[in-house]
Amino acid sequence: MPKYLVYIAALTLLVLACPHTLQAQDTAPATDAGVITDLIPDALLPAGHADGEQSSPSATMATFLGAMNRVDNGDDSAWPDVLTCFDFPENLATPEQKTHARQLFEFINRLGEVDVGALPDELDIQPTPEAKPVTRHQFFPTPEHAWMWTELAPLGKAPRGGIVFQANDQGVWRFSRQTVADISDLYTSTELLPPRYHDQQTRPGENLFVLVGPTFQNTHTWAWAALLGAIFVGLLLGKVFQMMLRGAAKRCNEAKQYVRAIVLDNTASPVSFAFLSLGLWVGITQIYREPKLAVFTNNIIQFLLILSVGWLLFNLVEVIDASLRRLSEKTQSKLDDQIVPLVRKSLRLFLIVVFTLFVAQNVFGLDITGWLAGLGIAGLAISLAAQDSIKNLFGSITVLFDKPFTVGDWIVTEGLEGTVEEVGFRSTRIRTFYNSLITLPNANLINASVDNYGQRQYRRWKTHIGVQYDTTPDQLVAFTEGIRELVRSHPYTRKDYFQVWCHEFASSSLNILLYIFHEVPDWSTELRERERLFLDIVRLADKLGVQFAFPTQTVHLYKEEHTDYETRHEPPQSMTQRRSMINGIRAAQLLIKDQPWQSQTPGPVTFQKGPTDLEIDEHGNPVIEIDKEKEKDKED
């Protein structure tokens, strides 16, 4: 909520403070729309000029403006002098003639101060032997009026028609009949322009109004209340819709409709912002705004509404991202897992560029053609300043196509070790095994060596199994062969290459080398299968009567008399070793015969919650269904 209040206060102050700034190019500040003052300063009237004279364009303009000023001052007897300045059609009624005359008067007021002396007079229109007499003079448009097209262009308007003085056969100059036909279009197309000339005399109390600006002068109290109410209603509706959408998103999450939940959740904030912008637009139309100020504020409101749409589209990229992630999870390839984040970032960057160009051209009327052409000149400077960024971009392309690793791989590079979480345009994110996040610039990956543990087909396990020195040779043969049978039988072990041999005489044990490989998709599954084989080896040793060695030392005291050495082990016969191997294999097969992975190969490790309804008796032992049935039989 505070961000909305700051936004409203800033925009309101901007609206109220801008009138004088927006009209700085005008020759003089505008007066009230209903007040039209004398357009002819006394200093600009030709000497000896009399009202009612129409002997030249200058005289006709002076007559028209002077008579209209008398009409505005309440002298209705001046209307004949006004109407005689026009070449009206015969079928045009007097009220319509007066309407056309007033529209032309107000249009001329928008052109600014009229220098009647600059118009052609009797001397200028006198015929000469070399030239024909002048019978036509165009007052509007001329090159001096080019400013009007500049000001009306942002409003989507342009003046239509012209003002021409035409002399009849008797030498009387009037506004031409075509001018009469064009007056309504001229007045309508320029009605948003303010009056450009006013009397320099200040009315009582006008200084105070000039200080606060015309917005405060001409806006009623109820309009300010309407502005406040519209803003409040916009905020309220935005908050209500935001709560409704967030609540619906929560229910969709509970129903496991995740894509729909993302749509609703990401729509909530832009919709709330759009309601606030609409409320501000409705409220601000109630206050008085001069034409330029109206254009400025309308552009701001239009920008805010477009911003809300752009914000919505920016957020909805998450929906595309979630859908692509779900599709990538169904495939075996990891390339799509790597491309999905790039698609999300590309779409968002595309929306930002399109939004910026659209607003610049359609809202603020900027010429983006020259700006885009200037990018070619600025491209060199940008490329020099952004060499690292370009290197990072090429690094990401290298990672994408050369595929030294993919998302989810365990890698070691430049002293960094962890699992690849995301490959972006600029950097790669690596999650370490102590759960910190490292951001590695892609430029470093172009020349760096990457040790990709995730691309291993097999994961090696090398260890020594120490057994006691009193283990018989037959037991050793049976034990090693039994371990080999376990390796051949387990679902995730490599069957075409492994080493299980009595390897060395250690200080306190006979060491058996166990050198095997697991073919597993990830580290968690490797640990699980290593544990499964480890436990079966322990069970096999128990079946064969093999004891694991402890790191102990035996001290023998020297005796001068000693008994003769007695042989403990019989020399092997032709079938001794084979019988021992068969005993080890049978022991291993009996050990794994009823294990569940024999009927169904276990999948990769998934992390789930343990059973929460497990009952435990007073001795700390879990109570299973069979125990419950026994207790029930006893009660019966």
Quick: pLDDT tens for 428-469. 888 888 888 888 887 777 777 888 887 778 889 999 999 998
- What is the span of the domain harbouring residue 479? 456-553+574-598
Q: Where are the alpha helices (DSSP H) in 448-575?
A: 473-489, 523-544
The sign of the torsion formed by the CA atoms of 280, 281, 283, 287 equals positive
pLDDT of residue 27: 34
Q: Token match 């009623």: residue?
A: 220
pLDDT of residue 320: 80
How far is the C-alpha of 269 from the C-alpha of 170, rounded, in Å?
74
How far is the C-alpha of 445 from the C-alpha of 399, rounded, in Å?
8
Q: Pick the last residue of a domain from 146, 181, 200.
A: 200
Quick: pLDDT tens for 264-310. 888 888 888 888 888 888 888 888 776 677 778 888 888 888 888 88
DSSP state of 598: G
pLDDT of residue 501: 93
Measured at the CA of 71, the angle between CA 66 and CA 75, to 5 degrees, comes to 110
Q: Pick the last residue of a domain from 165, 200, 235.
A: 200
pLDDT of residue 201: 40
pLDDT of residue 210: 42
DSSP state of 219: -
Please report whether residue 461 resides in a domain: yes
Please report whether residue 166 resides in a domain: yes
Please report whether residue 88 resides in a domain: yes
Please report whether residue 217 resides in a domain: no
Please report whether residue 394 resides in a domain: no
Residues of the chain whose pLDDT is less than 50? 1-6, 9-10, 13-51, 198-212
Our count of domains for the chain comes to: 2
pLDDT of residue 372: 59
pLDDT of residue 467: 94
Q: Pick the last residue of a domain from 200, 228, 245.
A: 200
Q: Token match 């050198």: residue?
A: 515
CATH at 535:
3.30.70.100
